[in-house]
A and B are shown apart, each in its own frame.
Chain A
Amino acid sequence: MIEVKDLVYSYVSDTGDNEEVLKNINLKINKGEFVAILGHNGSGKSTFAKHLNAIHLPLGGKVYIDGIDTSDTEKLWDIRSKVGMVFQNPDNQIVASIVEEDVAFAPENLAIDPAEIRKRVDEALETVGMSEYKNHAPHMLSGGQKQRVAIAGIIAMKPDIIVMDEPTAMLDPIGRREVIKTIEDLNQKYGITIVLITHNMDEAVKAQRVVVIDGGQIKVDDTPRNVFKNVELIKSIGLDVPQVTMLAYELRKVGFDIRDDVLTVDECTEEIYKLCQ
């Protein structure tokens, strides 16, 4: 469980001013949840993510992971092995030049027994569907495959929570689909808590809960359906809503009687079909 209390964080900018990036953030994420964190560039969402495994430490307030304070330096490695983190660029996360060696990196760091590492590596690669590539060189893989290897590298630590910082931003549509599928699997089949930072609305829709951060503050925190219903609010923050939600919104505006909370293409088709009848 993640508990964030009155989190404040600021950078010193080039001009020497103190720039407040996170202002008083309060958030609770329960075990097994799939939470999407939305926000445009510079909203503070990546900075927030880095607080969850003690890469950044709060300047004000506290972050607790399963009751452990992240600023407790003695528990640093406990926290980092509990909260895995996947970044945007898969190339800059892969350490070794053979897939399975890379997946073994984290458990090796945790001084786990070699036989157990072998087991974890095989399991992790199986989970992300990359077993057949275990002896490949990472640079021969596609972007989506590389990102799945990076995810396997995190799973091998057996974390309870995985924080993903825009994991699909550098991928092509196929890679994107592969990675999102993997993330959903991790959450549903393996019960891992997922915190997905994104600015892709179609990915956010897949979450159980959407948290919108703007200007270092939480603006909205609700189910995707309730969040995207407020088209005006979301637009005013500088974000988009899923295309189908936008379509429904525009149709409502010109007087059609259509639900305002459609999220998927299927739902939208159904609604429009109903209208036509």
Chain B
Amino acid sequence: MLKDITLGQFFPLDSPIHKLDPRLKIMFTLAFIVLVFFADSIPGYLAVMLFLGITVKLSKIKFRIVLKSAKPLLFIIIFTSIINLFFTGGENVVFQWKFLKITETGIVNAVNMALRLLFLVMGSSLLTYTTSPIMLTDGIERLLSPFAKIGLPAHELAMMMTIALRFIPTLLEETEKIIMAQKARGADFESGNIFKKAKALIPVLVPLFISSFRRADELATAMECRCYRGGKNRTSMKQLKICGIDWVALAVMIVFTACIVLIDIFNLNIMGY
């Protein structure tokens, strides 16, 4: 049951999006996030939607799955929309009931916010859906490595991520075992209010912590036995190389950026700022 949980789920498919260099993919995702905030008009949103749609289509991942990625954030999306809807000032009041009033700007803001958040989540989950955790950490390490000179522990951060990803399933399995062991001794995890339930987890967390420390100790010894001495003078079996498909993607991304920026400028012009 617990074992099915995956963080940053990855769908191993064979698609051009999967084949993209992880470094570029991370940069593109960051650019996409920025661009989403630039696009605040109907043509802008259409452009973003079109771009996202084509990317999803190319990635061979079902649109439904990408849409579902926004589910955990549904509450936040609805909440911010409602706040925007009711608490934005403005002159053209559309609807008023006692102290609640909805203005035209409010509606626009609410829709803006909801769409932005939705695009944000969908765009960034597409990154984890199409990039394996290993590639992702690899990409992050390479992207951060220029900052190593100013003291940023790029390799160490990536190593920590790799180990964390590696141990998530192991620790989940262990948690399950401890829960079963405690249940067998009469522990009750289901009844009571939230505080009682939280308290019931202490006998699970204590052994889990102790065993994690023991694991960490053993892993450190095993890593030393395999000549690990930090990131210095380390090579990597898998080499990242920018190739044909990456250049195409880069060109597409530049065109997309130009579109959004142009739409933005054009909009400002007609609105007369």
Contacts and interface: CB of A to CB of B under 8 A. Distances in A.
A97 B162 contact: yes
Nearest to A100: B237
Given A81-B227, A95-B223, A107-B237, 4 more contacts: A87-B222, A93-B218, A95-B162, A111-B235
A87 B218 contact: yes
B166 A114 contact: no
B162 A96 contact: yes
Given A95-B162, A97-B165, A111 B234 contact: yes
Given A92-B218, A137-B169, A121 B163 contact: no
A108 B235 contact: yes
Contact of A105 (B169, B215, B228, B229): B228
B210 to A, nearest CB: 14
B226 interface: yes
B237 A55 contact: no
Nearest to B138: A101
Contacts of A105: 223, 226, 228
A153 B227 contact: no
Nearest to A101: B134
B219 interface: yes
B170 interface: yes
Interface in B196-236: 215, 218-219, 221-229, 233-236
A58 to B, nearest CB: 17
B227 A80 contact: yes
Contacts of B153: none
Interface of A: 53, 55, 77, 80-81, 84-85, 87, 89, 91-98, 100-101, 104-114, 117-118, 121, 137-139, 150, 153-154, 157
Nearest to B216: A92
Contact of A96 (B134, B170, B235): B134
Nearest to B232: A111
A55 B218 contact: no
Q: Lowest 8 A-B CB distances belong to which pairs? A: A92-B218, A106-B226, A104-B237, A139-B169, A93-B222, A85-B225, A117-B237, A109-B227
Given A89-B218, A98-B134, A53 B225 contact: yes
B269 interface: no
A109 B219 contact: no
Nearest to B163: A95
B239 interface: yes
22 contacts: A53-B225, A77-B227, A80-B227, A87-B221, A87-B222, A89-B215, A95-B219, A95-B222, A95-B223, A97-B166, A100-B237, A105-B226, A108-B236, A108-B237, A109-B229, A109-B234, A111-B233, A114-B235, A114-B238, A150-B222, A153-B226, A157-B227
Contacts of A80: 224-227
Contacts, number: 94
Question: Which DSSP category, helix, strand, loop or mixed, fits chain B's interface?
Answer: helix
Interface residues of B, number: 29
A86 B204 CA distance: 30
Contacts of B224: 55, 80
B188 interface: no
B176 interface: no
A121 B229 CA distance: 20
Contacts of B239: 114
B214 to A, nearest CB: 8
Contacts of B226: 80, 84, 95, 105-106, 109, 153-154, 157
Contacts of B237: 100-101, 104, 107-108, 114, 117-118, 121
A197 to B, nearest CB: 14
Contacts of B221: 55, 87
Contacts of A113: 235
A95 B229 CA distance: 14
A85, A96, A107 interface centre (most CB from chain B within 10 Å): A96
Contacts of A89: 215, 218
Contacts of B165: 97
B156 interface: no
Contact of B227 (A93, A104, A110, A121): A110
Nearest to A121: B237
Contacts of B222: 85, 87, 92-93, 95, 150
B65 to A, nearest CB: 20
B225 A138 contact: no
Contacts of A111: 233-235
Contacts of A138: 166
B259 to A, nearest CB: 38
Contacts of A55: 221, 224-225
Nearest to B169: A139
B13 to A, nearest CB: 14
B133 A92 contact: no
A107 B227 CA distance: 9
Contacts of A109: 226-229, 234
A84 B226 CA distance: 7
B9 to A, nearest CB: 13
